[in-house]
């Protein structure tokens, strides 16, 4: 069995189209089809339900897909490990999934990683916590930054990085601007722009508001913090955002950020890695950066603006 044949099969399973899979693999469609036929012959199994086009994977194909992803991940890890030993540092690509709420803090982790492995590249993907779970399960990412103690992920190792708290954000002309703190009961009286309910951050905010005996009813809901921030910059809109967005708002004088109280709330955010051994060199290096960040309290300086 050739690694190349497995790669073709996994790509076809992801694309579910022979032509697109062949283009991704930089081969002709007959070459890709022939390689997958050879893989089926080698395993003595039918892996694909075929018609005039790709229809689906067989049950055996689904099992081979899982093992194929693991084998390809291990092969890439072997290559990265040998390359790193030859060159004195990692030179592959780190794939990091980050929930939108943690994006302002992600640079602290990537900065530490690049400082230790300047030859490596980093691909940061904005992902929901559920997408991070799928990405880890399917070997599509090396690690994720997400909530640890709310809707926790399964089959992962967790490394705490910092506690997320929440601030009320508004324009300086707002009636609440400049206050030392804002209660949740006061916050819900303003025209809010918040994340939509499919985002975990919004589900956390809804639960805190419920504890305060109030209900969040935003005038505008979006699945992107960029959408929240753009509305903050214009019009009467206010928002509730993680305290780390104070770094994003630094130098924006027309905005005011104030801690939310009654109740005050903190949510743990950290690094999650798939609970499997052996770890790839990238995963080991990422874990080392997270442990160093915890020991040096690298994330402790993040304020609310």
DSSP 253: T
- Strand, helix or coil for residue 22: helix
The predicted pLDDT at position 83 comes to 66
- Strand, helix or coil for residue 4: helix
Spatial separation of the C-alpha atoms in residues 245 and 224, rounded to whole Å: 13
- Residue 85's Cβ-count burial label (10 Å; 0-12, 13-18, 19+) is exposed
Q: Where do we find the tokens 């819900």?
A: 188
Is residue 158 within 8 A of residue 241, CB to CB? The reply is no
Residue-by-residue pLDDT tens, the chain, 305 positions:
588 888 899 899 989 899 899 999 999 999 999 998 999 988 998 998 887 778 889 999 999 988 888 888 778 777 766 665 545 568 788 999 999 999 999 999 999 999 988 988 999 999 999 999 999 998 889 999 999 998 889 999 999 999 999 999 999 989 999 999 999 999 999 999 999 998 999 999 999 999 999 999 999 999 999 999 889 888 899 999 999 988 887 777 889 999 999 999 999 999 999 998 878 888 999 999 999 888 877 787 675 44
Is residue 77 within 8 A of residue 69, CB to CB? The reply is no
The predicted pLDDT at position 88 comes to 57
The predicted pLDDT at position 277 comes to 82
Residue 105 to residues 77, 242, 243, 273, 279, Cα–Cα distance (Å): 27, 10, 10, 18, 24
Is residue 95 within 8 A of residue 123, CB to CB? The reply is yes
The predicted pLDDT at position 134 comes to 93
The H or E element containing residue 37 is: helix 29-43
Instruction: Name residues whose C-beta falls within 8 Å of residue 243's C-beta, 6 or more positions apart in sequence.
Output: 164, 165, 166, 167, 257, 259, 302, 303, 304
Instruction: Name residues whose C-beta falls within 8 Å of residue 283's C-beta, 6 or more positions apart in sequence.
Output: 142, 143, 273, 274
Spatial separation of the C-alpha atoms in residues 182 and 239, rounded to whole Å: 12
Spatial separation of the C-alpha atoms in residues 14 and 2, rounded to whole Å: 19
**What would the two tokens of residue 175 be?**
């009636």
Question: Residue 264, Cβ neighbours under 10 Å: how many?
Answer: 12
The predicted pLDDT at position 270 comes to 95
Instruction: Name residues whose C-beta falls within 8 Å of residue 50's C-beta, 6 or more positions apart in sequence.
Output: none
Spatial separation of the C-alpha atoms in residues 9 and 13, rounded to whole Å: 6
């Amino acid at each position: 069995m050739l690694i190349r044949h497995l790669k073709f099969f996994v790509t076809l399973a992801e694309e579910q189209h022979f032509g697109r899979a062949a283009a991704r693999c930089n081969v002709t469609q007959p070459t890709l089809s022939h390689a997958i036929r050879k893989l089926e012959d080698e395993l003595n199994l039918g892996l694909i339900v075929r018609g005039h086009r790709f229809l689906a994977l067989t049950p055996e194909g689904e099992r081979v897909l899982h093992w194929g992803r693991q084998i390809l991940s291990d092969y890439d890890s072997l290559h990265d490990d040998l390359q790193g030993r030859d060159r004195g540092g990692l030179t592959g690509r780190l794939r990091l999934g980050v929930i939108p709420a943690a994006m302002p803090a992600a640079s602290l982790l990537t900065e530490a990683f690049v400082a230790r492995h300047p030859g490596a590249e980093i691909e940061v993907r904005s992902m929901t916590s559920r997408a991070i779970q799928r990405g880890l399960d399917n070997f599509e990412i090396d690690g994720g930054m997400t909530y640890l103690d709310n809707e926790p992920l399964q089959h992962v190792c967790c490394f705490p990085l910092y506690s997320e708290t929440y601030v009320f954000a508004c324009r300086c002309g707002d009636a609440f601007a400049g206050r030392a703190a804002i209660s949740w009961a006061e916050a819900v009286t303003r025209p809010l722009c918040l994340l939509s309910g499919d985002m975990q951050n919004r589900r956390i905010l809804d639960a805190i508001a419920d504890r305060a005996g109030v209900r969040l009813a935003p005038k505008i809901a979006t699945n992107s913090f960029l959408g929240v921030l753009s509305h903050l910059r214009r019009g009467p809109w206010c928002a509730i955002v993680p305290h780390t967005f104070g770094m994003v708002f630094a130098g924006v004088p027309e905005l005011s950020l104030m801690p939310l109280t009654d109740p005050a709330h903190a949510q743990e955010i950290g690094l999650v890695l798939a609970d499997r051994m052996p770890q790839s060199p990238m995963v080991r290096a990422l874990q080392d950066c997270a442990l160093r960040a915890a020991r040096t309290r690298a994330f402790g300086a993040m304020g609310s603006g």
